[in-house]
Amino acid sequence: MREGEHSAYRVPTGRPFLLGELYNKLPSVDDRMKHLPDPADPTEYEAIADALWDVFVTARNLAPVRSPTGCARHPGGPVDTEAPEGWGRCLLCNRNRRIGRPSVKKATNASTSLWAIPDPPYNHAALMAIRRTINHAVMELDYRSPDRAFHEVADLVHSAFIIARELSRPRSTGCQRHPGAPIDPTAAGGPQCIFCVGEERRRQLGPPTVTVRPSRPVPTVRPPVPRRWQQPLPPPM
Ligand SMILES: [Zn+2]
Ligand SMILES: [Zn+2]
């Protein structure tokens, strides 16, 4: 190859190192997610959420810097905190859009996160689905992948983190009398406070009765019958 024929492409500084870090961190979290029982305890999800955040930090550092406005023309501009549904977060661009549509209302739950937040429901199945997508996306990742691929991986890991974090919240029974009580997941009509379920049961069935089984009588030992050996009759003569 002659001088000047080299590709103009340069691997961004730090990318090989960070990619190695991503390949190191992801498999263990992935393994732990794969072996989570359904339903798992919130404390199990908490450990997963922590590990996923760690992976996300690496993925975010791998991706090109995302500007708070998400606008190519005004990356350092002011952020529109009342952006209407489906609009970007750039205040300058949104001001121009508002001039054309003055009646537009702000979105009911405008996301202020730079990174993707998945739509509910946040459950075990959703976490498993995103786990597979992450594995697929990371497998295709390489030094020369386009910026968009790195953004996608960071968004996916962030989504997984959000789901795991929601699942890690202590499940409240909503019981006024026993706040923080354990939950009976098998109660009729959905999970309920285990103490209230127990009280209700006792009310319906009465106090538990203990049946004392009489012990078996001691078997009588019969005295051994002396064995009599009979003399065989003499053969008839
Ligand atoms: Zn803009
Ligand atoms: Zn209760």
pLDDT in the model for residue 161: 96
Q: What is the mean pLDDT of the chain?
A: 85
pLDDT in the model for residue 17: 92
pLDDT in the model for residue 4: 54
pLDDT in the model for residue 10: 75
**103 alpha carbon to ligand 2 midpoint, in Å?**
49
pLDDT in the model for residue 135: 94
Residue-wise pLDDT for 2-59, tens only, equals 555 676 777 777 888 999 999 999 999 999 999 998 878 888 999 999 999 999 999 9
Ligand found nearest the CA of 179: 2
Instruction: Compute the C-alpha angle 15/18/22, nearest 5°.
Output: 130
**194 alpha carbon to ligand 2 midpoint, in Å?**
7
pTM assigned to the model:
0.66
Ligand found nearest the CA of 193: 2
Strands 192-193 vs 183-184: parallel, antiparallel or unpaired = antiparallel
**226 alpha carbon to ligand 2 midpoint, in Å?**
71
**83 alpha carbon to ligand 1 midpoint, in Å?**
12
Residue-wise pLDDT for 158-199, tens only, equals 999 999 999 998 777 677 888 778 888 777 777 788 888 889
Alpha-carbon distance 124 to 117, whole Å? 16
**207 alpha carbon to ligand 1 midpoint, in Å?**
70
Q: What are 78's strand-pairing partners? A: none
Residue-wise pLDDT for 118-133, tens only, equals 888 888 999 999 999 9
Share of the chain above pLDDT 70, in %: 94
Q: Residue 184 burial by CB count (10 A; 0-12/13-18/19+): exposed, middle or buried? A: middle
Confidence of residue 111 (pLDDT cuts 50, 70, 90): low
Of 103, 94, 38, the residue nearest 69 (C-alpha): 94
Q: How many CB atoms sit inside 10 A of residue 38's CB?
A: 9
Ligand found nearest the CA of 70: 1
Q: Is the pLDDT of residue 1 over 50?
A: no
Ligand found nearest the CA of 77: 1
**118 alpha carbon to ligand 1 midpoint, in Å?**
24
Of 228, 1, 29, 211, the residue nearest 135 (C-alpha): 29
Find out whether the peptide bond into 223 is cis, omega within 30 degrees of 0: no
Residue-wise pLDDT for 223-237, tens only, equals 888 887 777 777 777
Alpha-carbon distance 116 to 15, whole Å? 22
Q: What are 25's strand-pairing partners? A: none
**10 alpha carbon to ligand 2 midpoint, in Å?**
63
